[in-house]
Amino acid sequence: MNTMNELTLNSPLDMHLHLRDEEMLKLVTPLTAETFAGAVIMPNLVPPVDSLRALEEYRYRITEAQGDHVFNPYMTAFFRNYTEDELADLKYEMLGIKLYPAGATTNSEAGVKAIDAVEPTFKMMEEMGIPLMVHGETHGFVMDREKEFLESYEYLAKKFPKLQITMEHITTADAVELLGRYENLRATVTLQHLIITLDDVAGGMLNPHLFCKPIAKRPEDREALLQAALDAHPSLMFGSDSAPHPLSKKECCGCAAGVFTAPLAIARLAQLFDAHGKLGNLQAFISDNAQRLYRITPPEKKVVVRKQAFEVPAAYQGHGQHVVPMHAGEILDWAVTSVS
């Protein structure tokens, strides 16, 4: 039933998610698995997930942590120069390979230093039909890093026209404009980048729980991202980039980058789309586009969201972890009311 006050979502997907490992994994995995049918799991652990054995072991730890929830972790491998045999072994166990420029974000020190140095791996991926997912930032001035990287996206899209390339967690109007130019480019966008600007992070008192990479940009960037999401742009997917860090790593000198949104993402997206009269487009943004672009069929899962008050917890705690979410302690207008 879809009304102005209630919406049933079919198999919602989070196409960019950090679950971390060990005790943090045990805390946060059920918070996604409860309401999402599946999620694309990022591989930037220490050491990174860059072999078949590491991928299988990580997936096992995730499935143990998710409990009885119906949930499919779509695994990814950390980009490096793989051999053809390694890619053949990995292909049917993962959704794609994630490229991080060296040092661009959390646990990315082992990432790529020069795009042209790894082109043989791109070519093999193209030939084998393995998608490429990219954290697209240079090491330039922080507000310009994504915009500067767009040239690399265009270069890859032209040189490898059959390689499916996902621009992860886009944050700029320029990236939205690029989406329409190449058939092999698609993108994910986060909840926070649809709502906040850099002013919300650092315009007054610094809010460490809104600090992430790529950083939030200007109002005109947010508006371009929001309009594309509300219109269910066919090449755009929801990817939370939900990135939990212990409280001690956020409220400190040298604050870690990452916004934790997993437990409230669906309710907050419903509120956002409803506020703009676009509730009917949420299904495409949060599931249908991803299913079509990645040719995946997630588990059957119906999630009902309703227009009613939902107080976001001040923190999520357990397994010795303490994580503060976005909108901590605030009351949202929409809530997840049932999952079947």
For 52-79, what is each residue's pLDDT tens digit? Answer: 999 999 999 999 999 999 999 999 999 9
Sequence letter at residue 134 = V
* CA atoms within 13 Å, Cβ hemisphere of 198: 11
Predicted pLDDT of residue 114: 80
Pairing of strands 13-17, 38-41: parallel
Residue 110 has pLDDT above 80, yes or no: no
Spatial contact of 82 and 49, defined as CB atoms under 8 Å apart = no
109: confidence class by pLDDT, cuts 50, 70, 90? low
The more confidently predicted of residues 105 and 187 is: 187
Predicted pLDDT of residue 101: 86
Q: Give the three-class secondary structure for 235.
A: coil
Peptide bond into 47 cis (omega under 30): yes
Instruction: Tell me how far apart the alpha carbons of residues 179 and 114 are, in angstroms, rounded to a whole number.
Output: 23
Instruction: Tell me how far apart the alpha carbons of residues 71 and 52 are, in angstroms, rounded to a whole number.
Output: 21
Predicted pLDDT of residue 8: 98
- pTM passes above 0.75: yes
Predicted pLDDT of residue 180: 86
Mean pLDDT within 238-245: 98
In percent, how much of the chain has pLDDT > 90?
Answer: 93
Predicted pLDDT of residue 255: 96
Question: In this structure, what DSSP letter does residue 189 have?
Answer: E
Residue 4 has pLDDT above 90, yes or no: no
Q: Provide the CATH number for the domain around residue 147.
A: 3.20.20.140
Q: What share of the chain is helix, strand, coil (3-state, %, to 5)?
A: 40, 20, 45
Pairing of strands 6-10, 302-306: antiparallel
Predicted pLDDT of residue 2: 56
Instruction: Tell me how far apart the alpha carbons of residues 173 and 220 are, in angstroms, rounded to a whole number.
Output: 7
Mean pLDDT within 266-281: 98
Sequence letter at residue 46 = V
Question: In this structure, what DSSP letter does residue 101 have?
Answer: B
pLDDT tens across 162-177, in order?
999 999 999 999 999 9
Residue 1 has pLDDT above 60, yes or no: no
Mean pLDDT within 270-275: 98
Q: Name which of 65, 11, 73 is nearest 40 in CA terms.
A: 73
In a domain, 156, yes or no: yes
DSSP string, 260-289: --GGGHHHHHHHHHHHTT-GGGHHIIIIIH
The CA distances from residue 89 to 65, 82, 93, in Å, are 25, 11, 8
116: confidence class by pLDDT, cuts 50, 70, 90? confident
Neighbours of 29 (CB within 10 A): 26
Q: Per this entry, what is the length of the chain?
A: 340
* Domain encompassing residue 170: 6-339
Instruction: Tell me how far apart the alpha carbons of residues 86 and 97 are, in angstroms, rounded to a whole number.
Output: 12
Predicted pLDDT of residue 25: 98
Predicted pLDDT of residue 225: 98
Q: Is 174 a catalytic residue?
A: no
The stretches of the chain forming alpha helices (DSSP H) are: 22-33, 52-66, 84-91, 119-128, 145-159, 173-179, 198-202, 219-230, 247-250, 265-275, 282-283, 289-294
In a domain, 205, yes or no: yes
Residue 183 has pLDDT above 80, yes or no: yes
In a domain, 138, yes or no: yes
Q: Name which of 145, 142, 129 is nearest 97 in CA terms.
A: 129
In a domain, 1, yes or no: no
Q: Which range (61-65, 87-91, 102-106, 324-328) has the least confidence? A: 102-106
- How big is the CA angle at 103 (ends 145 and 203), to the nearest 5 degrees? 50
As for how many domains the chain has, the answer is 1
Predicted pLDDT of residue 107: 64
Q: CB neighbours of 239 closer than 8 A, spacing ≥ 6?
A: 14, 15, 16, 17, 40, 168, 169, 188, 189, 190
Mean pLDDT within 139-162: 95
pLDDT tens across 184-240, in order?
999 999 999 999 999 999 999 999 999 999 999 999 999 999 999 999 999 999 999
Out of 50, 241, 274, 288, the active site residue is 241
129: confidence class by pLDDT, cuts 50, 70, 90? very high
Predicted pLDDT of residue 21: 98
Whole-angstrom distance between the N-terminal and C-terminal Cα of the chain?
Answer: 14
What mean pLDDT is reported for the chain? Answer: 96
Q: Name which of 160, 158, 88 is nearest 120 in CA terms.
A: 160
Spatial contact of 132 and 97, defined as CB atoms under 8 Å apart = yes
